[in-house]
Amino acid sequence: MTDRATTSPRARFAPSPTGYFHVGSARAALFNWLFVRRLGGTFILRIEDTDAARNRPEWTDGIISALDWLGMAPDEGPYFQSDQDAVHQAAIEALWAAGALYACACTREEIDARTEARAAAGDPTPGYDGHCRNLGLPRGEGRALRFRTPDEGTVTVRDLVRGDVEFPLRALEDFICVKSDGKPLFVLANAVDDRTMAITHVIRGEDQLPTTPRQILLWNALNGAEGLALALPAYAHLPLLVNEQGKKLSKRRDPVAVEMYREQGYLPAAFRNYLALLGWSPGPEEIVPLETITERFRLEDVQRSPAFFDIKKLGHFNGVYIRDLPVDGFVAAARPWVDPAPGEWAPGEWRDPDTGSPAVMPAPWPPGRFEPSTFNSLAAVTQERVALLSDVPALVDFLFLPDAPEDPASWQKAVAGDELAPKLLADALAAYEDCPWEKDSLHEVTLEMAEEAGRKLGKAQAPIRVAVMGRTTGLPLFDSLAVLGRDETLRRINVALSRLAAAP
């Protein structure tokens, strides 16, 4: 028997390409990746694509792209389960020859009818009753192949997270391994592929724990049928991810697509750091470098209880990571949202599966109006105010739109609804005509206007901000005016005054 303890670990991440890349899958991939990175092992990507009716190439591309974005490109793969058909069929033949499988002609309706009859007679045992086990039916079209599960004893899953978990064999039905069309089901294909790829550790979600006894039974049967006694991999079943109601994260109910979070502007380092905390802790501090996470990660320290996927906390992490970037790093990170380069990734591809809506709308200014040097001038103050990179366009759009952005609520509150707004705008127009055009001078003359009007600076500058920048909140006014320029600032104030004069 192979002593897997003496070999470097080989862990596989084996997603099915049947939808957007789920955050739970990303967490499982990360824990596999961290485990082998700490021990100098191999991280393998295996795409389980045998469900041809549900698989789509874009889902596979999404998995590979997301892993690359997160900095977790596989050491081996992607391998595709569909390419292993010959190996699967050889395993089926060996199991059949060894008597571990038998043919079953029962339909689902027949099984359900017998289950109901047993229940009516006082036997509530659900599932398949072994009807065809001893009939000696030959294999043939329309007949599935079932595994001959032992009647007595237990299967023990030795789990690095949960300890020993025992499953009584009398509770395990003779499960189907091969569909009636001859194709292996997940439980068999998985066991065969893990053997073929010399997988030493199976690290996956706890929702797959109930399938593990079946895979252990198949593994042991294959040892005998193939005459190759391979040691079982070590298992680690990770806690479920739940929402704020404590319910398992659902694609139908919760925002779970990794692609969506990427488009909204979460940094991969922040997203990865937060995923690592979903069922595990690096210590008293939570926001820590990847090197620290990798050094401290142990499967034995993973918690058993469900982990709350807290979007607010993730947003906080992202804001911290954004603010920790050097300014030129922030400029580079924000580029896909403000000035996407041809041929490079940019937000806009992800669509909500229910509504078809994108996660992020494109930048609101016309093509060709973006000026990198202008953006760079305000990058530092922008960086301080965003938690998501997708928030950046709304903070700087006033620089690149032909006119100030329109926000009716801001206009009503700070301009149309303020009886002093016409005077403050007119005073600003006069003061800004000839003052030095830099932020400190702009601040000084506006403060003088505020004092003359008997207002605090914040209240006095509000009409100017909305006239020039479109909203009551945003970047610092005087930094913004200095970059926008005198001529454009004065033009927009004049437009606002004309609009007020024309209002009934």
Q: Which residues are catalytic?
A: 251
Which residues have a Cβ under 8 Å from the Cβ of 313 and sit 6 or more positions away?
A: 274
Q: Kindly calculate the radius of gyration of the chain based on its CA atoms and give it in whole angstroms.
A: 31
Are 160 and 125 in contact, with CB atoms under 8 Å apart? Answer: no
Amino acid identity at 221: A
- Using DSSP's 3-state secondary structure scheme, residue 203 falls into strand
CA distance 426 to 184: 78
In this structure, are strands 101-104 and 76-80 parallel, antiparallel, or unpaired? unpaired
Q: For residues 90 and 60, is the Cβ–Cβ distance under 8 A?
A: no
Write down the residue that tokens 């391994």 correspond to.
Answer: 177
Look up tokens 């294999």; give the residue: 139
Taking a C-beta distance cutoff of 8 angstroms, is the pair 303, 279 a contact? yes
Torsion angle of the four alpha carbons 133, 138, 142, 147, in this order, in degrees rounded to the nearest 10 = 40
Helix then strand count (H, E) for the chain reads 20, 12
Q: Are 207 and 163 in contact (CB under 8 A)?
A: no
- Contact between residue 155 and residue 216 where contact means Cβ atoms under 8 Å apart: yes
Angle at 209 between CA 235 and CA 272, to 5 degrees: 70
Query: How far is the C-alpha of 503 from the C-alpha of 495, rounded, in Å?
Result: 12
In 12-143, which residue ranges form alpha helices assigned H by DSSP?
A: 23-39, 57-69, 85-97, 108-120
Packed helices 186-196 and 85-97: angle between N→C axes, nearest 10 degrees: 100
CA 395 to chain centre: 26
> Which tokens in the block code for residue 143?
């007949």
Task: Tell me if 25 sits within 8 A of 72, measured CB to CB.
Answer: no
Measured in Å, how far apart are the chain's first and last C-alpha atoms? 90
Nearest by Cα to 28 from 190, 240, 211, 213: 240
DSSP code of residue 228: -
Gap between the Cα atoms of 379 and 382, Å rounded: 5
User: How far apart are alpha carbons 339 and 374 in whole angstroms?
Assistant: 12
Residue 483 near residue 378, CB atoms below 8 Å: yes
Is residue 426 within 8 A of residue 494, CB to CB? The reply is no
